[in-house]
Amino acid sequence: MKIYFYLNNEEHTPITSFVELKTNPFKIGDSIHLKVDEMSPDEYNKYEGKFKLNMIKNQHEIVETFNYKTIQIISESKFVRVMSNKEPLLTIEYFCDIINQ
């Protein structure tokens, strides 16, 4: 099962995702408190050049947008990916609003 969280009912605004969950602990109406951990310099130093600069910029934007914020699930979408040679894969997408600024 894969679970994705999006902001403002838009698939182009990801908050986070879970790709190996066995059960779903979330439901519409849930409020979820977010805490964003900073990446350490050791983690940044694994990358070089523009990629490293983009990684630092993106992490800063994630912290500014989501750190210590509360989101509320307002709607969901579910779909199953079926392939003849693999087990079906359930994907749940939750669309959320930030309820505290």
pTM strictly above 0.75: yes
- Confidence tier at 101 by pLDDT (50, 70, 90): low
State how far the Cα of 38 lies from the Cα of 70, in Å rounded to an integer: 18
CA distance 22 to 1: 6
Segment 77-101 shows an average pLDDT of 91
Give the tens place of pLDDT for each residue, 73-83. 999 999 999 98
Q: Are 72 and 30 in contact (CB under 8 A)?
A: yes
In degrees rounded to 5, what are phi and psi of residue 52? -65, -45
- Looking at residue 98, its pLDDT comes to 93
DSSP 45: T
Strand partners, 71: 32, 98
Interatomic CA distance for residues 49 and 89, integer angstroms: 37
